Structure 1
Amino acid sequence: MTRISTRKRGQGRPADAVGKDAVLSKATELLQELPPARVTTSLIAREAGVDPALIRYYFGDREKLLLEVVKQLIADAPTEEATLADAVARLERTIRHTAHFTRSTKHVHRLMVDELADAKSAEVRKLQGEMNMGAVERLAQMMAQDGGQDLRSVNPLFLHLALVGLFDFFVSAQPVVRNLVPEDTDMDALAVQFEDFVVDLLLNGLRKR
């Protein structure tokens, strides 16, 4: 059993930081492979090789650990170039980043819906909402920067929901998609084709004529 040291530490990196990083890394890895409901505290602890009590020590509870996973995934994801002058180019970059993020973080949206949106902790719910609102606000800023020059004015919330919904269904409903294509279909190649389709669909739908 892993013991928690209570002695006062000097300056520098805490001795338990490596253990905390290991737990966060293992939780992230498991959430890439399994639906969120199956990623329990005991499973994370077992796979990380630590005592479950350490997870409570590091993160407080499972909800806060899962929120840290989402924050880490979002922090690691590339963002659109805010310096791009062309609003259409920025929007395309945003669409493609959403596609790549969803494919590389297979269960993250299901995690946010099933686990975090209705979390018991008000703090977790607040932070989860702020992360989603950040995406909506970036789209709103993009539209405002364009000023109606190249893009039609649309509700940025609806645009965000459309982006998330389109790409999340392709990933989360993969068995449904597989049943609609030949057995030898390269699903990675199909995902790229779908991304190109969504980019064309949205840009042509939003571009001013």
Structure 2
Amino acid sequence: MTTGKSKKRGQGRPIASKNGVGRDALIAATCKLLQDLPPAQVTIAAVGREAGVDPALIRYYFGNREALLFEVAQRLANPPEVLAIDADIDPIDQLEAFIHAAFAFTRSAKYMQRLMTEELSEAKSPEIQQKLREWQKRPVSVYEAIRQRDGGDSLAEYDPLFLHLAVVGMSDFFRSGASVVKMLAPEGEDLAELEKRYEAFVVRVLLDGLRRRES
């Protein structure tokens, strides 16, 4: 005999939306928010509103906010092919491509380095901390692999860690120091075009500085 009351839904996957929302849609919603908001404001509730779902769905897929942000950062990061060392590509050309990729990563979210340093680096989860540590070492490994493959033929000796830190700092400042850039830029300057010229300048300075000099 039925009572007319609806049955309580058992535990499991929360109801999403009428159109259905999965992991990729939640990651896309988070990426969209990070284009305009500081990472601290990209909460589970904010992502839920953006995606039009119950925040419980985000916890179902990712467990917590830290895991979601880590997956988003990886999704925005350098494509795997950039990290691959290709023996058929000149080491200097590969070094240039990787530096450009670092700039692209910084541009992929308005406050990308803040996401990396203030949110993920301060993550409470030991698992996220370990994953982040391994992921952060990859660029250093790439710079080291390029240095070793070159063998001193075209590139001077350099410290892969210092090079990575220098690239991170220089690629980030145009975004993190946007107020200073606007203050110093010529009046009416197209900032998007200025950013392209800045990137080209940094790459040229780094490559010129890293080229081996004949004694």
The verdict on a shared fold, with TM-score over 0.5 as the criterion, is: yes
Instruction: Report the Cα distance in structure 2 between the residues aligned to 1:29 and 1:76, rounded to whole angstroms.
Output: 19
Q: Which residue matches 1:11?
A: none
Q: Which of 204, 207, 210 is the equivalent residue of 1:200?
A: 204
Q: Which of 32, 36, 52 is the equivalent residue of 1:33?
A: 36
Change (3 A) 1:183 1:59: same
Q: Which amino acid aligns with 2:172?
A: D
Q: Which of 128, 149, 172 is the equivalent residue of 2:176?
A: 172
Q: Confirm or deny: 8 A CA contact 2:78 2:105 kept in the other structure.
A: no
Q: Confirm or deny: 8 A CA contact 1:20 1:58 kept in the other structure.
A: yes
Q: Which residue matches 2:46?
A: 43
Q: Which of 137, 140, 145 is the equivalent residue of 2:141?
A: 137
Instruction: Report the Cα distance in structure 2 between the residues aligned to 1:59 and 1:76, rounded to whole angstroms.
Output: 22
Describe how 1:1-209 pairs up with structure 2 within 5 A.
Answer: 6=12, 18-74=21-77, 76=79, 79=82, 82-83=85-86, 84-209=88-213
Instruction: Report the Cα distance in structure 2 between the residues aligned to 1:125 and 1:17, rounded to whole angstroms.
Output: 32
Instruction: Report the Cα distance in structure 2 between the residues aligned to 1:37 and 1:186, rounded to whole angstroms.
Output: 29
1:84-125 Cα shifts (integer Å, max 9, x gaps)? 431111111111121222223332221010011121001111
Q: Which amino acid aligns with 1:67?
A: F
Q: Which amino acid aligns with 1:175?
A: S
1:38-82 Cα shifts (integer Å, max 9, x gaps)? 111111111111111111111101001101101111265862663
Q: Which residue matches 1:10?
A: none
Alignment RMSD (CA, Å): 2.2
Between 25-34 and 67-76, report the one with greater CA deviation.
67-76
Unaligned runs of at least 5 residues, structure 2: 1-8, 14-18
Instruction: Report the Cα distance in structure 2 between the residues aligned to 1:29 and 1:39, rounded to whole angstroms.
Output: 10
Q: Which residue matches 1:13?
A: none
Larger radius of gyration: 2
Instruction: Report the Cα distance in structure 2 between the residues aligned to 1:125 and 1:170, rounded to whole angstroms.
Output: 27
Q: Which amino acid aligns with 1:50?
A: V
Change (3 A) 1:105 1:35: same
Q: Confirm or deny: 8 A CA contact 1:139 1:156 kept in the other structure.
A: yes
Q: How many residues align?
A: 199
Q: Which runs of 4+ in 1 moved over 4 A?
A: 3-7, 75-78
Q: Confirm or deny: 8 A CA contact 1:80 1:90 kept in the other structure.
A: no
Q: Which amino acid aligns with 1:44?
A: V
Instruction: Report the Cα distance in structure 1 between the residues aligned to 2:123 and 2:208, rounded to whole angstroms.
Output: 38
Instruction: Report the Cα distance in structure 2 between the residues aligned to 1:104 and 1:159, rounded to whole angstroms.
Output: 21
TM-score (norm 2): 0.85
Between 194-203 and 71-80, report the one with greater CA deviation.
71-80
TM-score (norm 1): 0.88
- Give the CA deviation at 1:199: 1.2
Instruction: Report the Cα distance in structure 2 between the residues aligned to 1:82 and 1:6, rounded to whole angstroms.
Output: 43
